[in-house]
Structure 1
Amino acid sequence: MDLRLQLVPLPVADVERAKSFYVDKAGFTLDHDHSAGDQFRVVQLTPPGSACSICFGIGIVDTTPGSVKGLHLVVDDIHGARAELAGRGVEMGEVEKMGAPGKPTVSYAAFTDPDGNSWTLQQISG
């Protein structure tokens, strides 16, 4: 049995602000933006190179905006990815490394969207 995660809904307060952040600053591809009246709108975006997308909008989720924490974006070059996002205006945390003797080093750099949903860049190097 294959189980493929394809879509993660995010709670946001302002759909246009979130769309602008993810497209213009985070560099996600806008896949879909559809409205059906005033009570439903779905915006779907995909991070570059990812098979999994995010979505937000109106009538999508009823959780508190900013309540999704710890989504990970795995990268090959954390310093390059961090610099690219920071260059687009994303407020990035510093790169932090974690590891143990004989184990791969795992590096992290965090950021949040305008609502406070949190993301972590992650690089595992052996």
Structure 2
Amino acid sequence: MEWTLEVVTVPVSDLDQAKSFYEDNCGFKVDTDTRITDDTRIIQLTPPGSRCSIALIAGMPPAPGQHEMEPGSLQGLQLCVTDIHTAHAELSDRGVEVSNVQHLGANGWEDGSGDTWNSFMFFRDPDGNGWVVQQAPAPLADR
């Protein structure tokens, strides 16, 4: 049996602001924007080329045994790209405040690209949810 990660819920305070950020600034595709009731709304967006989406949700209680996350409390969501400098320019051009490209060196985070798998940049959404972008080689089938 395969277990695929398909959707990650991102806690936000303003659905319209978050939708605009992820769609307009990050280039995510809006898969659905559905109102279930006057108070319940689900927006699902997918990064270009990804099978995993994010969900922005209002008015839905947490699943049994779980608790509601505070807006901005999700950290470390990671996207992978094959060209971090092109991705950096794209996000910057779209108005996203993104860190310099960095790599992990002997003294911690250092500016500039690193070796394979060791080039990163970081950004936050309007609520402070933290994203990591890592450069990764193209899948073998694409090389």
Is the structural similarity TM-score above 0.5? yes
* 8 Å CA contact retained: 1:79, 1:95: yes
Measured in 2, the distance between the counterparts of 1:66 and 1:45 equals 17
How many residue pairs get matched?
A: 123
Instruction: Indicate the SS of the match to 1:106.
Output: coil
Q: Which residue pairs with 1:117 in the alignment?
A: 129
- Residue 26 of structure 2 corresponds to residue 26 of structure 1: yes
* Greater RCO, CA 8 A, separation 6+: 1
* Superposition map of 1:1-126 within 5 A: 1-60=1-60, 62-98=68-104, 104-124=116-136
TM-score, normalised to structure 2's length?
Answer: 0.80
Measured in 2, the distance between the counterparts of 1:115 and 1:38 equals 23
Name stretches of at least 5 consecutive residues in structure 2 with no aligned partner.
63-67, 107-114, 138-143
- Root-mean-square deviation over aligned CA pairs: 1.7
**Cα offset, 1:2, TM superposition:** 1.1
Measured in 1, the distance between the counterparts of 2:104 and 2:129 equals 23
Q: 1:99 to 1:2 in 2, by over 3 A?
A: farther
Percent identity over the alignment is: 49
Measured in 1, the distance between the counterparts of 2:117 and 2:25 equals 28
Instruction: Indicate the SS of the match to 1:4.
Output: coil
**Cα offset, 1:99, TM superposition:** 6.0
**Cα offset, 1:98, TM superposition:** 2.6
* 8 Å CA contact retained: 1:99, 1:105: no
TM-score, normalised to structure 1's length?
Answer: 0.91
